[in-house]
Amino acid sequence: MSCIVDFKNVSAAGLESSPAAEALAGLRANEARYFMNKYQHEFTVVPASESQKTLDYVNRILKEERDIEFAAKPLETSRFQVANIKFAYVFYEDGLVVNVMYTVDDPKKRAVGFKLSEGMEIPEELEGKFKFARQKSKLAGIIRGSFFVIKGEY
């Protein structure tokens, strides 16, 4: 069952099993606010157990592009298109958020982003492979993020 993320009243619903539930909820709300402000798009999430196609899509890109497989349990996903950009998100139990931004008509603007919830350690799978920049958010506190450009077709 899908759920629209409310960025005005942040809730950890759906993320309760995460030790970083509150920080992860803030990060999820931060994404929802971004899409509403930039695209007037309501950010909707689905339990990972109901969204195997999205998980397979993100996992395939991670594996084929950088040989990355996360041990953390996925809790929720989101997949949608705004304008000419397809987006896919996976929210993991450890506080990690992975997003795929894939422009339909411009292969130079395709990337995978990683965001770490406030207080989260860099996952072993990413340790030493990426540099993380810091960003401050009213909803999510200090977010650390990184990305890589997608070279293949998906």
Distance CA 44, CA 89 (A): 10
Q: CB count, 10 Å around CB of 85?
A: 16
Tens digit of pLDDT for each residue in 24-78? 999 999 999 999 999 999 999 999 999 999 999 999 999 999 999 999 999 999 9
Whole-number pLDDT of residue 114: 98
Q: How many domains does the chain have?
A: 1
- 62: tokens are 């991670």
Question: Does residue 82 form part of some domain?
Answer: yes
Tens digit of pLDDT for each residue in 93-142? 999 999 999 999 998 999 999 999 999 999 999 999 999 999 999 999 99
Q: Domain range spanning residue 109? A: 3-149
At residue 1, does pLDDT exceed 90? no
Question: Does residue 154 form part of some domain?
Answer: no
Question: Does residue 100 form part of some domain?
Answer: yes
